[in-house]
């Protein structure tokens, strides 16, 4: 596996390098599958740093690594590297049964020591695992054969869901300790369906099938994933035949391409929420400004005009598939109300409130265009917003430092559907993933983290969502529908998780 000094996402030069290195061409055997993906892999440790919580990187990590627990395309959980798991009756212990017969990519045997190593490392604040606030609540692990037990240091009801979610990957103890973090980055191994054959930062990764994969050898012997952040370039990739599969393209292009000879398309709802983070400590401290900004947005019009009907308008950070979705919570599009709220704070179209909004461009279908439309809607009520374009990696950096603009567009992925991983980590002040940090909200959220009564826990999160909506602490926009275009020679199943992986693709 090779690395270069090219800057991340300099696609033009990188794709030229890909051709020079003898990457598969479309005209060659379909055994050599080519995917044009909308982002690249900045590093190969799926458990540390900002990339570990980027939902769009998970399908790439899932090609190489396995999680403790599997989550299927329909959001249901199934055995992964753990075959059984649970709490003791008194909730003071956890138990896990480790799958036998699994091999790491270097041929060494996977075992319970790898699971304990991965859990302990995840719990160590020095590791840089963004999920440490979950993993750190368990410890004192003991191994008996292939069964692991551990102490519940602080009850966390969602720990086994997190084992099928962000940072929930198992890494090889002996290999990692031998080569260290830098050595692992240069030559990562997992237990997943594919092994890394070649990697060029900002360009592509070439993968070869793991013929000993415990779930069965994947259909394609070689897969090349090109990192193509520009949506128009991904359209060109699939239309020219240089790639077999692409996704997250503009919906008008999806509708056009799916009818072309030799191509097919699928569009399916995924557990992703388009939203606008609001950051306190400035202009957004004014509740009237926050609520006016929300009331002024016609979400259905955006879906109909820009997304060609592909999307579901949302009033909270819970999509319909989430455990705490409450259909009674509705936030109205009401531009007149927005004007009244702004007037109460001394603002109008002649004396507008001004702030910056940050947005990605091409990361999600019509992301930048949506923000342009929203800025236009805001202008009509007395809000002047300046758009700043940034890469998704910059968003994570700024959010972790609490330095986002007063408003910042983001796509929140919550494949496990639990309110802690949507509303909770997006809005709880101490979370590294939140932009809004105030004591009133933290006091309402804090008791829910350890609530042992499941019905009470879910209702508590519904109440929190209602409070957030009333206070205007965030602006939910819509649930996404993912468009996938591919050659008719392959089958690409739908995935409500949003994790469209190479391993799930098969010949037609």
pLDDT of residue 51: 84
List pLDDT tens digits, range 354-407.
999 999 998 888 999 999 999 999 999 999 999 999 988 899 899 989 999 999
List pLDDT tens digits, range 228-238.
999 999 999 99
pLDDT of residue 29: 55
Query: Does residue 245 sit within a domain?
Result: no
CB 371 within 8 A of CB 401: no
List pLDDT tens digits, range 144-176.
999 999 999 999 999 999 999 999 999 999 999
Q: Which pLDDT band holds residue 9 (cuts at 50, 70, 90)?
A: very low
Query: Does residue 191 sit within a domain?
Result: no
Decide if pLDDT at 14 tops 60: no
Decide if pLDDT at 353 tops 90: yes
Residues 347 and 449 in one domain: yes
Residues 168 and 275 in one domain: no
Q: Which pLDDT band holds residue 67 (cuts at 50, 70, 90)?
A: very high
Query: Does residue 308 sit within a domain?
Result: yes
pTM equals 0.80
Query: Does residue 175 sit within a domain?
Result: yes
Residues 471 and 368 in one domain: yes
Closest CA to 356 of 295, 293, 311: 293
Q: How far apart are CA 323 and CA 333, in angstroms?
A: 25
Q: Given the DSSP bridges, would you call strands 32-37 and 245-247 parallel, antiparallel or unpaired? A: parallel
Q: How far apart are CA 129 and CA 281, in angstroms?
A: 27
Residues 289 and 401 in one domain: yes
Residue 126 sits in a domain of what CATH number?
3.90.76.10
Domain boundary among 179, 212, 228: 179
Residues 148 and 273 in one domain: no
Phi, psi of 222 (to 5 degrees): -135, 135
Six-digit token pair at 381? 């009520």
Total domains, the chain = 2
Range of the domain at 381: 269-482
Residues 316 and 414 in one domain: yes
Decide if pLDDT at 247 tops 90: yes
Residue 387 sits in a domain of what CATH number?
3.10.105.10
Residues 175 and 273 in one domain: no
CB 414 within 8 A of CB 498: no
Decide if pLDDT at 2 tops 70: no
Domain boundary among 157, 179, 201: 179
Decide if pLDDT at 18 tops 60: no
Query: Does residue 250 sit within a domain?
Result: no
List pLDDT tens digits, range 311-330.
999 999 999 989 999 999 99
Residues 349 and 460 in one domain: yes
Q: Which pLDDT band holds residue 421 (cuts at 50, 70, 90)?
A: confident
Query: Does residue 218 sit within a domain?
Result: no
Query: Does residue 59 sit within a domain?
Result: no
Neighbours of 211 (CB within 10 A): 11
More confident residue, 50 or 166: 166
SS3 for 14-49 is HHHHHHHCCCCCCCCCCCEEEEEECCCCCCCCCCCC
Closest CA to 402 of 306, 507, 304, 280: 280
Mean pLDDT of the chain: 92
Residues 283 and 391 in one domain: yes
269-291 average pLDDT score: 96
pLDDT of residue 364: 86
Above pLDDT 70, what percent of the chain?
Answer: 94
127-133 average pLDDT score: 87
Residues 278 and 416 in one domain: yes
SS3 for 192-232 is CCEEEEEEECCCEEEEEECCCCCCCCCCCCEEEEEECCCHH
Decide if pLDDT at 3 tops 50: no
Domain boundary among 122, 151, 179: 179
Query: Does residue 40 sit within a domain?
Result: no
């Amino acid at each position: 596996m090779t690395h270069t000094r090219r800057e991340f996402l300099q696609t033009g030069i990188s794709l030229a390098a890909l051709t020079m290195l003898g990457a598969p061409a479309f005209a060659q055997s379909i055994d050599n599958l080519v995917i044009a993906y909308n982002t690249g892999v900045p590093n190969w440790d799926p458990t540390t740093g900002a990339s570990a919580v980027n939902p769009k990187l998970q399908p790439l990590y899932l090609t190489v690594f396995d999680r403790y627990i599997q989550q299927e395309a329909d959001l249901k959980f199934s055995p992964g590297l753990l075959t059984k798991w649970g709490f003791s009756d008194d909730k003071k212990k956890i138990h896990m049964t480790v799958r036998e017969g699994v091999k790491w990519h270097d041929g060494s045997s996977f075992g319970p020591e790898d699971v304990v190593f991965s859990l302990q490392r995840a719990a160590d604040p020095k590791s840089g695992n963004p999920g440490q606030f979950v993993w750190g609540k368990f410890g004192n692990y003991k191994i008996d054969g292939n069964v692991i037990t551990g102490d519940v240091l602080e009850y966390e009801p969602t720990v086994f869901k997190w084992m099928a979610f962000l940072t929930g990957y198992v890494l090889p103890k002996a290999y990692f300790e031998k080569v260290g973090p830098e050595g692992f980055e240069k030559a990562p191994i997992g237990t997943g369906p594919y092994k890394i054959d070649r990697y060029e930062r900002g360009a592509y990764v070439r993968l070869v099938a793991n013929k000993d994969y415990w779930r069965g050898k994947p259909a394609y012997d070689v897969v090349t994933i090109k990192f193509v952040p520009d949506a128009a370039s991904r359209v060109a990739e699939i239309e020219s035949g240089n790639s077999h599969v692409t996704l997250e393209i503009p919906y008008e292009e999806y509708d056009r391409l799916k009818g072309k000879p030799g191509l097919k398309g699928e569009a399916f709802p995924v557990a992703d929420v388009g939203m606008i983070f609001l950051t306190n400590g400035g202009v957004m401290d004014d509740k009237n400004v926050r609520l006016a900004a929300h009331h002024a947005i016609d979400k259905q019009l955006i879906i109909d005009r820009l997304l060609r009907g592909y999307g579901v308008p949302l009033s909270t950070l819970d999509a319909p598939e989430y455990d705490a979705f409450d259909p009674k919570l509705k936030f109205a599009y009401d531009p007149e109300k927005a004007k009244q709220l702004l007037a109460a704070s001394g603002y109008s179209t002649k004396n507008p409130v001004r702030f910056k909004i940050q947005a990605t461009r091409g990361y999600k279908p019509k992301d930048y265009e949506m923000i342009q439309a929203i800025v236009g809607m805001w202008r009509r009520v007395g809000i002047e917003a300046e758009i700043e374009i940034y890469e998704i990696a910059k968003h994570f950096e700024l959010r972790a430092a609490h330095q986002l603009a007063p408003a910042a567009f983001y796509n929140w992925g919550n494949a496990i559907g639990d309110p802690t991983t949507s509303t909770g980590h997006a809005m709880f002040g101490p979370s590294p993933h939140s932009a809004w940090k105030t004591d009133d909200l933290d006091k309402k959220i804090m008791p829910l983290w350890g609530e042992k009564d499941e019905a009470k826990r879910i209702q508590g999160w519904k109440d929190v969502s209602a409070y957030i909506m009333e206070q205007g602490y965030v602006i939910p926009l819509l649930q996404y529908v993912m468009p996938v275009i591919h050659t008719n020679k392959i089958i690409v199943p739908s995935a409500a998780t949003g994790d469209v992986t190479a391993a799930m693709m098969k010949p037609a």
